[in-house]
Amino acid sequence: MFSCNEKISVRQLQALVILYVFGAGVTVLPRRAAEAAGRDGWFVVILSAALAMLCVYVIASLAAIFPGEGFVDYSSKILSKPIGVLLGLGLFAKIIISSAMELRIFSEIVQQTMLAETPRTVVCALMLGAGVYAALCGYEVRGRIAEILLFITAPLTLVFFLLAAADADFSNLMPVMVFADACELIRGSVTVGMSFTGIELCLLVFPYINASEGGQAAAIRPALVKTAGLIGAAMVMATVIATAKFGAADLREQQWPVLELMDAIEFPGSFIERQDAIVMVFWISSVFAVMNAGIFFSALLLKDIFKKEWRGVYIAVSGALILGLAMLPRSEAQVYEIQKYIFYTFGAAYMIIIPLLIIIAAKLRKSEADVGSSHRGRTGREK
């Protein structure tokens, strides 16, 4: 706080993760859950949440081994420099592409609900402009903004969900778990896990957390796991309410269930007739968080790879790339295809496979180093 704008506290990290993952994932989550398991979609979401918590645990364990180090740095250390750089580039590509797809979907939604005739480029460019501004200000500002936005939007969202629940027919969830087919549920949980994308960004944050050096892992790991749990709980709640309100059949066919949910709420007193525009406020903030994170972390990766302090340049490049890629797909269906592809390749890789690899390699290296040093120690005494 009294330092320069580069370190954030664990609390702010939690706020950032919540805003990113929940905002990016929740809009289509109920539909994916309904597609995977119909009425029992909520159970699938619970399974995915568990998976996400596991991934986060693995990722945060890296903090114990490499406190305060950037991703490219520690992967270079363990897996040799070229591979480290390659991994960094891969993550860079993943972040850019998924941010671009997210932006594209968002602009589609804005076009359909709020601004029918404004060119998509303008919508995207303005959102990216805000993201660039925030990224330029530094990590600490990002953390603070996340705290403020969460402070404003979380109670609102909670109220909306509760209002929706008041009106929902929970018998739509019955009969519960009658068709439970374990394989299908597990397969479904991986598909639904797509909605938890964003967790792999935690690989990059270790140098920027303001916890005491030794206590970094001790502070980060439980906090992140708790956050993943919280997000999971919120997603489950959203799925349950959406299923209750619309029924699994209708839910499967809705493009953006959460949006429809917000639209279908009856405000007591009914001062406001249709409130889908107001709900967009929440969503604009979370997409902003996503864009912001995308630009910031991709610029960070570029800095780690090229080792030069051209912050403005990196941010401009990332922003331009994201804008360009967002304009490319021809239709929304294509966007979802791309997202699925990216998730099954890069996403899964960075969420769990690569962290595991790094941990295993680190443990191997450490045991080698132990043997080596004890050997040297003996020879030293002999001399």
Partner 1 sequence: MLISGELDKNIAYLEKTFKDCGDIVKRKFPVGETRRQWVFVIYADNMTDRAELEVNIINSLMISVRYVEPSVEELAGNVFEGLRDGGISSADITETAEMDDVVFAVLSGNTPLLLDGYKKALIISTRKYPTRGVQATDTEVVIQGSKEAFTEVMRMNTALIRRRIRDPNLKIRQLRVGRRSQTDVALVYMEGIVRPQVLGEALKRIERINIDAILDSGYIEQLIEGNWLSPLPQAQVTERPDKSAAAVLEGRIVIIVDNSPFVLIIPATFNTFFQAVEDYYQRWGIMSMLRCLRYTAGVLSVTLPGLYLSATLYHPSMLPTVLIYKLVESRMPVPFPAAIEVLIMDAAFELLREAGVRLPGPIGNTIGIVGGLIIGQAAVEAGLASPIVVIVIALTGICGFAIPHVSLVTGFRLMKYLILIMAAALGLYGFCLASIIILIHMASLKSFGIPYMFPFVSGEVNNYGDFKDTLFRVPLFMMKRRPIFAKPDNVVRQK
Partner 2 sequence: MAALMLLSGCWDKTELENRAYVNTIGIDSTRGRFTVTVEFPRLESKKEKTGERFARAETAETVRAAMRKIDGSSDKKMYYGHTEAIVLGSGLFENEGMFRETMDALLRGREVGRNVIMLSSKVDARTIIESETEDIDCLGTFITDYYGNNPPDKPARDLQGLITGLRAGDSALIPEIRLEGGTYRLGGAAVIKGGRLVGWLDDKRVRGCVWITGGAGTSGGGRGMAVTAGVGDSGENETRGTLDVTGSRREISFYDNNGWPVCEISLDIRGSVEEYAFQSEVPELEAGGICCRGEVRSPAISALGSAFETEIEEDIGAAFDWLTANKADALGFGEIMRKRFYGLYMRYIGNWEEAFANMTLQTNIRVDIASVGAVK
Q: Which residues bind partner 2 (CB under 8 A)?
A: 112-113, 115-119, 122, 171-172, 174-175, 178, 246-247, 249-250, 260, 263-264, 266, 273-274
Per rule CB under 8 A, is residue 123 in the interface with partner 1? yes
Nearer to partner 1, 138 or 193 (CB): 138
284 touches partner 1 by CB under 8 A: yes
Q: What are the two backbone dihedrals, phi and then psi, of residue 144, each rounded to the nearest 5 degrees?
A: -65, -40
Q: Which is nearer to partner 1, 114 or 249 (CB)?
A: 114
Q: Smallest distance, Å, CB 322 to partner 1?
A: 16
In the complex with partner 1, the residue whose CB is nearer, 91 or 103, is 103
Q: Which amino acid is at 108?
A: E
Give the angle 191-194-197 at the CA atoms, nearest 5°: 160
Q: Which of residues 4-43 bind partner 1 (CB under 8 A)?
A: 5, 9, 11-12
Q: Which is nearer to partner 2, 117 or 213 (CB)?
A: 117
Q: How far is the CB of 272 from partner 1 (least distance, A)?
A: 6
Quick check: 159 binds partner 1 (CB under 8 A)? Answer: no
Q: Which does 333 bind (CB under 5 to 8 A by kind): partner 1, partner 2, none?
A: none
The answer to whether 149 contacts partner 1 (rule: CB under 8 A) is yes
| Given 1, 174, 182, 183, the residue binding partner 1 (CB under 8 A) | 1
Q: Any idea how long the chain is?
A: 383
Torsion of CA 305, 307, 309, 310, to 10 degrees: -40
Determine the interface stretch with partner 1 among 61-69, 83-91, 132-140, 187-195 (rule: CB under 8 A): 132-140
Among 89, 141, 237, 361, binds partner 1 (CB under 8 A): 141
Q: Which of 139, 128, 49 is nearest to 317 (CA)?
A: 128
| Beta carbon nearer to partner 2, 245 or 303 | 245
Q: Please tell me the distance from the alpha carbon of residue 5 to that of residue 13, in angstroms, as a whole number.
A: 14
Q: Which of 162, 218, 233, 277 binds partner 1 (CB under 8 A)?
A: 277
Neighbours of 245 (CB within 10 A): 22
Q: What are phi and psi of 210, to 5 degrees?
A: -90, 60
Interface with partner 1 (CB under 8 A), residue from 151, 179, 310, 341: 151
Piece in contact with partner 1 (CB under 8 A), picked from 145-153, 172-180, 217-225, 322-330: 145-153
Choose from partner 2, partner 1, none: what does 93 bind? Cβ within 5-8 Å by kind.
none
Q: 343 is in the binding site of which of partner 2, partner 1, none (Cβ under 5 to 8 A by kind)?
A: none
Q: Which does 183 bind (CB under 5 to 8 A by kind): partner 2, partner 1, none?
A: none
Chosen residue from 89, 130, 225, 237 binding partner 1 by CB under 8 A: 130
Instruction: Point out which residues bind partner 1 (CB under 8 A).
Output: 1-2, 5, 9, 11-12, 110, 114-115, 118, 122-123, 126-127, 130, 133-134, 137-138, 141, 143-145, 147-149, 151, 270-278, 280-281, 284-285, 288
